[in-house]
Amino acid sequence: MSSKPLPFIALLLTALSLVPVGAHFFELPNKLGLDQHAYFTVQAIYRGWAFFGIALVGAILADCGLAAAARRRQPAAFPWALAGALLMVASLAVFFVWVFPTNQATANWTIVPPDWERLRRHWEYGHAVSAILTAGAFCSVAWALLEWAIRISLNSIAKRLRIPYATPGSQGSGRANLPKHEPDSLRIQEKKNRRPGSRIGPRGWGNE
């Protein structure tokens, strides 16, 4: 894998993006049962969480960069990296379609509109969907990095053994191509088995 920090940054920012929506996901069953006063009181604890949006935007950019790098250098990891980027974009879209309008309608849950229960459902379920999408993005990015690392490890092993290895997307089948010449041990054994005075055939075998 590249020595540049992009893969690490992509995974880290995607994980950070999962923190707030994951918390909302697990709080949902209890919060839906709260009355109006209790619910608006609880909503006040999320002030300042908007800064997690920086991690979300950063994760989208980093995941897109990872997908572009994988397409050029490691095609086997590209589909997973691309899936991670698309899932993060979908999570952001869900936020602006369901969650952001409720924040606007309630002034970030500081005023109580008549349809606050409907807005609450949009807010809670919007975060739940975002949590599922972000979790999928994290798994996709992690799998892309694992796939990338496996391919690099196989290449490294093949180089040490002096066996050419073609990665998927490049020429070749992606399998190690064994040398076509006969192993030294086989030639030594043939020499030992050759009887004195025998002729050497076209392939070096002893002929009577």
- Is there a domain that residue 67 lies in? yes
How many domains does the chain contain in total? 1
Using 50, 70 and 90 to split pLDDT, how confident is the model at 173?
very low
- Is there a domain that residue 196 lies in? no
Tokens of 123: 């807010």
- Distance (Å, whole) CA 80 – CA 168: 14
pLDDT tens, 57-83? 999 999 999 999 999 988 999 999 999
Bridge partner residues of 200 (DSSP):
206
- Confidence (pLDDT) at 2: 47
- Is there a domain that residue 207 lies in? no
- pLDDT above 60 (res 47): yes
Domain boundaries, position 94: 6-160
The H or E element containing residue 100 is: helix 100-105
- Confidence (pLDDT) at 133: 98
Long-range contacts, 44-52 (Cβ 8 Å, 24+)? 44/109, 46/109, 47/108, 49/20, 52/16, 52/17, 52/19, 52/20
- Confidence (pLDDT) at 92: 97
- Is there a domain that residue 101 lies in? yes
- The predicted model scores a pTM of 0.73
- Confidence (pLDDT) at 146: 93
